[in-house]
Structure 1
Amino acid sequence: MRHLLTIPVLALALAACGDKSAAPAGPGGDKASTAPAVVAPAGLNWVDLVTATPEGGFRMGNPDARVKLVEFASLTCPHCREFHEAATAAIKSKYVASGNVSYEYRNFVLNGPDYAATVLARCQGAGAFFGLLDSFYTDQAGWTEPFSRIAKADQEALGKMPEDQAVRRLAELGGLADYVKLRGMPRAKFDQCLADPAQMKAINDLRNLAVNELKLTGTPSFIINGTVQEGVFTWADLEPKLQTALR
């Protein structure tokens, strides 16, 4: 298994989002889908139905939706944060809630802080994932900043550790234990999550899927019904593609 601290963590290039030049996220159109809504089971809102997928992502919405939207994204990527801020409310209210679109988020880690935060965002499962995702994007500038102050000696020590130990130590050095504690994760759970090899494997498998099979070169990247959306980086780019898929 490749040591992800070489992709690189220790450069701490938190603004890097791959090799694409994304334009600023713009507002999507106001035109709502004309497709008839799919009624959810009694007492259920499609937005509240969140499940883990076999591919390793977390899917919100009707599992049988005729339009399946997948996003590959990084928690430290500013363009991903911009997309999240511009798109999340509309994706939920206009598309997922109708039952016609499902939305799946798959982590595509780009650096060490991203890796550490991703483990913590994922480890409590589907029910907690999207709430933590919102927090990590909303607070991106704040929680990533301590990583830029990690001493050179600590960085060198991290590079000599096995992957699991390095990720845990990096999370500690970056102050993530306190960050997630304020969001309901006690220290014992923090330690448990960062010692779970299944979490590491799932994240590595998602990165391998993105890079080696789908040939994705940056974040955010989008897939609609199995087709990678080339040149689509913002909500203004993506929403017309969803509208077309729903016709």
Structure 2
Amino acid sequence: MHRRTLNLGILGLAGGLVGTAMVPSFAHAAVEVDLDAASQPRVLGDPDAPLTMIEYSSLTCPHCATFHAKSYKPIVETYVDTGKLKFEMRDFPLDQYALRASAMARAIDGKPYFALIDMLFKQQSSWTRAENPIDALKKIGRLAGISAETADAYMTDDALLDSILNGRIAAQKTYDVNSTPTFVIGDEVIRGAEPFETFQTVIEGKLA
């Protein structure tokens, strides 16, 4: 089982926001954030699918990247694309850069959102180790059609950051999420970047 455990000290939470000592500098952003749209669930697949799979992940978590590299695609091809499963991504940032990346990604929705998440995981080792991770994030965002100004606006919007962090708190209370990745399939919780076959067994059992 591979997972990354939550460290509350990393985010330096203060009043629901990131501690100012850890906040990187951003350019002035004149773009208005659509908080309602940004806070909506990010769902892939038929909304009326008989089964829902929720992933709680941190975009800086290497085990989450492993899941997306090895198990995510066969799950989508086998169950989401066939209408059997609805897949929902939920943010569970473990550090300030995961939080900013999650906020930037919420500037888009639908399949482009999931394509961006996939790109962020594939390039995780590059942007997380960059001299300026925020600039590296914005370069990836531009490939998804997110301008630098929009990225800055979403990554610095206090209400959006609060929304993401409140979602993390809700995950802890509802499903006892304390590490990433954590998955909820129906009423079953799976912790760690398990192989496709593990998820397949659970999904097939729920669909039977």
What percent of counterpart residues are identical? 26
Q: Distance in 2 between the 1:82 and 1:244 partners?
A: 24
Q: Distance in 2 between the 1:53 and 1:91 partners?
A: 27
Report the TM-score when normalising by structure 1.
0.64
1:77 is aligned to 2:78: no
- How do 1:48-63 residues align onto structure 2 when only pairs under 5 Å count? 56-63=40-47
1:215 is aligned to 2:176: yes
- How do 1:184-223 residues align onto structure 2 when only pairs under 5 Å count? 184-223=145-184
- How do 1:82-161 residues align onto structure 2 when only pairs under 5 Å count? 82-146=66-130, 149=131
Partner in structure 1 of residue 134 of structure 2: 171
Partner in structure 1 of residue 12 of structure 2: none
Q: Distance in 1 between the 2:192 and 2:63 partners?
A: 12
Query: Residue 42 of structure 2 contacts residue 90 of structure 2 at CA under 8 Å; is this kept in 1?
Result: yes
Query: Residue 108 of structure 1 contacts residue 219 of structure 1 at CA under 8 Å; is this kept in 2?
Result: yes
Q: Distance in 1 between the 2:187 and 2:114 partners?
A: 22
Query: Residue 9 of structure 1 contacts residue 113 of structure 1 at CA under 8 Å; is this kept in 2?
Result: no
The one of the two structures with greater contact order (alpha-carbon pairs below 8 A, sep at least 6) is 2
Is the alpha carbon distance of 1:217 and 1:53 closer, same or farther for their aligned partners in structure 2, counting shifts above 3 Å? farther
**What 5-or-longer segments of structure 2 have no aligned partner?**
1-14, 24-35
Q: Distance in 1 between the 2:81 and 2:151 partners?
A: 33
Q: Distance in 2 between the 1:178 and 1:63 partners?
A: 32
Deviation at 1:63, TM superposition (A): 1.3
Is the alpha carbon distance of 1:221 and 1:140 closer, same or farther for their aligned partners in structure 2, counting shifts above 3 Å? same
Deviation at 1:5, TM superposition (A): 4.3
Deviation at 1:177, TM superposition (A): 2.7
Is the alpha carbon distance of 1:178 and 1:55 closer, same or farther for their aligned partners in structure 2, counting shifts above 3 Å? closer
**What 5-or-longer segments of structure 1 have no aligned partner?**
11-51, 151-169
Deviation at 1:57, TM superposition (A): 3.3
1:239 is aligned to 2:174: no
Residue 134 of structure 2 aligns with an amino acid whose one-letter code is A
Q: Distance in 2 between the 1:224 and 1:58 partners?
A: 16
Residue 16 of structure 2 aligns with an amino acid whose one-letter code is R
Partner in structure 1 of residue 8 of structure 2: none
Q: Distance in 2 between the 1:246 and 1:194 partners?
A: 39
Partner SS for 2:183: strand
Matched length: 181
Give the aligned CA root-mean-square deviation in angstroms.
2.8
Residue 117 of structure 2 aligns with an amino acid whose one-letter code is L
Higher strand residue share: 2
Partner in structure 2 of residue 2 of structure 1: 16
Deviation at 1:219, TM superposition (A): 0.7
Runs of 4+ that moved beyond 3 A: 3-6, 52-57
